[in-house]
Amino acid sequence: MEKGGEDPEFSYSYYRRKERIALVAIVVLASVAVASLLVAFSYYCYIRNKVLSKRSKSHSTVVDSKDKACCTDLEVATDEGLHVFTFKQLHSATGGFSKSNVVGHGGFGSVYRGVLSNGRKVAVKLMDQAGKQGEEEFKMEVELLKRLRSPYLLDLIGYCSNSSRKLLVYEFMANGGLQEHLYPINGSNNVNLKLDWETRLRIALEAAKGLEYLHEHVSPPVIHRDFKSSNILLDKNFHAKVSDFGLAKLGSDKAGGHVSTRVLGTQGYVAPEYALTGHLTTKSDVYSYGVVLLELLTGRVPVDAKRPHGEGVLVSWALPQLTDREKVVQIMDPTLEGQYSMKEVIQVAAIAAMCVQPEADYRPLMADVVQSLVPLVKTHRSTANVGGCSSFQ
């Protein structure tokens, strides 16, 4: 070994050793990095799976064991909770749109009672014809409708739309339309089937709140256009919700140039200025509301050709008597006798009289109507008297 000089052997092995150490360090570090990446990736997958399974749980429905067979294709929910159904699902929910499940017919078509795969009862409105409206346009309208949410408006649960069929799916209202209880067909002789005074007052208030929401709590305001007793639906406890709001655009003119009721409203409920000039404002709805209030007071339909001369049109017959203390009791529904106080009748009659004023500007706002009705609807009410009313359940 040379003293003072660099031993080439030594320096070669020294650097070889260093090189090996560096290599080992690199391999170790790389392995640690790969392992950390693997751990991070697994954790990411785990979290992602959890999120996905939570999301699909909240969107899918709880399957009733009875209906498992029909649940191969569960409804797909859009981001904001409106269900998009397939025609097959609604076909199976309504027993193939069977006649026994028809709960009514209207300007759009038939309404069927149905049960979804999760056991929820629904009302399925099958539109006779979709008019010129395309699938996308229909979907957009429905998307707008679903933004109108209030405890006093009927809940839209979902829809089904393809090129040939359009259906709307609503919450099911066990006691159907108000008109069925004011003018029961099967139980016309049985006064117990008719709604009592307190229930009528509450229905009047709840329906007023529904319209108030559309007119005053939504921007721009929504005009119902077809407010009437059949569009006030009653749940199993006879609480009222307004239905078919904002559907005017979804309707279509009937074939042969005949204008649908959707465009012009329903006979007996249409405000005079709208009928004459087509000028539509929220005050047109207030007029229609006044007509419903008259139906609740008198138990008479808005137009009845079978009535004696001068009594056929409810508004024309009732209006002159509404503000006369003596006469007003004479127009009251005879089945309500003994249930109301004079004071209450005078107040409700005064509200009705203002709502059906021929001059739109003299009609109140729905907020005013609500304010006037609130004190009349007592907090402790019993629905015992209406327990025997006909029910769809």
Ligand X SMILES: Nc1ncnc2c1ncn2[C@@H]1O[C@H](COP(=O)(O)OP(=O)(O)OP(=O)(O)O)[C@@H](O)[C@H]1O
- Which residues bind to ligand X, rule: CB under 6 A? 103-108, 111, 123, 125, 154, 170, 172-173, 176-177, 180, 226, 230-231, 233, 243-244, 261, 266
Taking CB under 5 A as the rule, does residue 282 contact Mg ion?
A: no
Q: Which residues lie below 8 Å from residue 19, measured CB to CB, with a gap of 6+?
A: none
Taking CB under 5 A as the rule, does residue 231 contact Mg ion?
A: yes
Taking CB under 5 A as the rule, does residue 180 contact Mg ion?
A: no
Under a CB-based contact definition with an 8 Å cutoff, are residues 166 and 130 in contact? yes
Judge whether 125 is annotated as a binding position: yes
Angle in degrees, 0-180, between the axes of helices 197-216 and 282-298, rounded to the nearest 10: 180
Structure tokens at 390: 């006909």
Q: Is the CB of 148 or the CB of 332 nearer to ligand X?
A: 148
Residue number with the shortest CB distance to Mg ion?
244
* Phi and psi torsions of 232, nearest 5°: -110, 115
Q: Which of the residues 113 through 142 are near Mg ion (CB under 5 A)?
A: none
Q: Is the CB of 260 or the CB of 321 nearer to ligand X?
A: 260
Please report how close the Cβ of residue 276 comes to ligand X at its closest, in angstroms. Answer: 21
Number of Cβ within a 10 Å radius of residue 4: 4
Q: What is the DSSP string of 100-165?
A: GGEEEE-SSEEEEEEE-TTS-EEEEEEES--TT--HHHHHHHHHHHTT---TTBPPEEEEEE-SS-
Q: Which stretch binds Mg ion (CB under 5 A): 86-94, 106-114, 265-273, 301-309?
A: 106-114
Q: Does the annotation count 226 as an active-site position?
A: yes
Which one of Mg ion, ligand X, none is in contact with 95 (Cβ closer than 5 to 8 A by kind)? none
Spatial separation of the C-alpha atoms in residues 144 and 284, rounded to whole Å: 22
Among the options 73, 79, 155, 226, which is catalytic? 226
Under a CB-based contact definition with an 8 Å cutoff, are residues 382 and 365 in contact? no
Binding mask 234-273 for Mg ion (x = CB under 5 A): ----------x-----------------------------
Tell me which residue of 298, 335, 337 sits closest to 319, measured CA to CA: 298
Q: Which stretch binds Mg ion (CB under 5 A): 104-112, 213-221, 258-266, 354-362?
A: 104-112
What are the residue numbers of the active site?
A: 226
- Binding residues for Mg ion, rule: CB under 5 A, are 106, 231, 244
